[in-house]
Chain A
Amino acid sequence: MRLLAAKIILAALPIVAMMCVNYFIDPANLFRHGVEERMAARLLLGQAVPYVLNYDERLVQQSYVQKVRKSADVIVFGSSRVMQVRSAMFPGRSMFNHAVSGATIEDFIAIAGAYDRRGLLPRQVVFECDPWLFNAHNGQQRWRSIADDVDYMSRRLGLAVGWAPLVSRRTAGKYFQAVSPAYFQEALRHIGATRSEQLSERGDTQLLLADGSILYPTAFRQRTPGEASADARRALAGPIYSLNEFDALDPQAIRALDALVDYYQQAKVKVSIVLIPYHPIVFSALQSQEQYQLVSASEGYFRELAASRHLPLAGSYDPVLSGCDETDFFDGMHPNDRCAGRIIARLDALGRP
Chain B
Amino acid sequence: MLFNTFEFAVFFPVVTLLYFAAPAGRRWIVLLIASAVFYMAFIPAYLLILLALIVVDYTAALLIERAKGPARRRLLLVSVASNIGMLGAFKYYNFVAMNVDGLARVMGYSPSSLPLLSWVLPIGLSFHTFQSMAYTIEVYRGRFPAEHHLGYYALYVMYYPQLVAGPIERPYNLLPQLRREQVAEPTRIASGLKLMAWGLFKKVVIADRLAFVVNAVYAQPSSANGAALTVATVFFAWQIYCDFSGYTDIAIGAAEVMGIDLMRNFRRPYLATSTRDFWARWHVSLSSWFRDYVYIPFGGSRFSRARWAIALMTTFLISGLWHGANWTFVVWGALNGAFLLIGAITAGARARIRDACGFDEVQRLRSVVQAVITFSLISITWIFFRAKSVDQGWYILTHLLSRRGESIAALGVSSPQLVISCILIAGLLTIEAFQTTDDPREYVIGQPAWVRWAVYYSVVVLTLTIGVFNRSEFIYFQF
**Interface, chain A (partner B; CB < 8 A):** 4, 7, 10-11, 14, 18, 176, 179-182, 184-185, 188, 226, 229-238
Contact = CB atoms under 8 A, between A and B. Distances in A.
Contacts of A10: 453
A336 to B, nearest CB: 19
B464 A181 contact: yes
A234 B219 CA distance: 9
Contact of A229 (B410, B465, B470): B410
B470 A179 contact: no
A181 B467 contact: yes
B418 to A, nearest CB: 13
Interface of B: 6, 9, 186, 190, 212, 215-216, 219-220, 223, 406, 409-413, 453, 456-457, 460-461, 463-467, 469-470
A185 B465 contact: yes
A185 B465 CA distance: 6
Most buried by B among A176, A230, A231: A230
A344 to B, nearest CB: 30
Closest 4 CB pairs of A and B: A234-B412, A182-B469, A237-B215, A237-B219
15 contacts: A14-B457, A14-B460, A14-B464, A176-B6, A179-B9, A181-B469, A182-B469, A184-B464, A184-B465, A230-B409, A233-B216, A233-B410, A234-B411, A236-B220, A237-B220
A133 B470 CA distance: 25
Nearest to B215: A237
B219 A238 contact: yes
B469 A188 contact: no
Chain A, interface SS category? helix
A250 B377 CA distance: 48
Contacts of A237: 212, 215-216, 219-220, 412
A90 to B, nearest CB: 35
A236 B219 contact: yes
B6 A230 contact: no
Given A237-B215, A237-B219, A181 B412 contact: no
B412 A238 contact: no
Contacts of A226: 410
A176 B223 CA distance: 41
A180 B469 contact: yes
Nearest to A239: B219
A167 B467 CA distance: 30
B453 to A, nearest CB: 6
Contacts of A180: 6, 469
A181 B463 contact: yes
Nearest to A226: B410
Contacts of B461: 14
Nearest to B211: A237
Contacts of B413: 234
Contacts, number: 58
B412 A231 contact: yes
A159 to B, nearest CB: 29
A11 B186 CA distance: 14
Nearest to A229: B410
B216 A234 contact: yes
A18 B9 CA distance: 15
A230 B412 contact: yes
Contacts of B457: 14
A230 B469 CA distance: 24
Given A18-B464, A230-B409, A238-B215, A182 B470 contact: yes
A233 B464 contact: no
A233 B411 contact: yes
Contacts of B215: 237-238
A230 B411 contact: yes
A171 B158 CA distance: 35
Nearest to B413: A234
Contacts of B409: 230
A11 B456 contact: yes
B45 to A, nearest CB: 20
B409 to A, nearest CB: 7
Nearest to A14: B460
A343 B406 CA distance: 32
B278 to A, nearest CB: 29
A14 B410 CA distance: 38
A232 B190 CA distance: 46
A47 B9 CA distance: 44
Given A181-B464, A182-B470, A4 B186 contact: yes
Contacts of A4: 186
Contacts of B463: 181
A233 B460 CA distance: 33
Nearest to A184: B464
Given A18-B464, A238-B215, 19 more contacts: A10-B453, A181-B463, A181-B467, A181-B469, A185-B464, A185-B465, A226-B410, A231-B412, A232-B412, A233-B410, A233-B412, A234-B216, A234-B411, A235-B412, A236-B220, A237-B215, A237-B219, A237-B220, A237-B412
Contacts of B456: 11
A49 B25 CA distance: 63
Nearest to B217: A237
Contacts of A234: 216, 411-413
Nearest to B464: A181
A78 B457 CA distance: 46
Contacts of B9: 179
A147 B413 CA distance: 38
Contacts of A233: 216, 219-220, 223, 406, 410-412
A147 to B, nearest CB: 24
Nearest to B471: A182
A179 B6 CA distance: 8
Contacts of A236: 219-220
Nearest to A236: B219
A14 B186 CA distance: 20
Nearest to B214: A237
A231 B463 CA distance: 26
B95 to A, nearest CB: 19
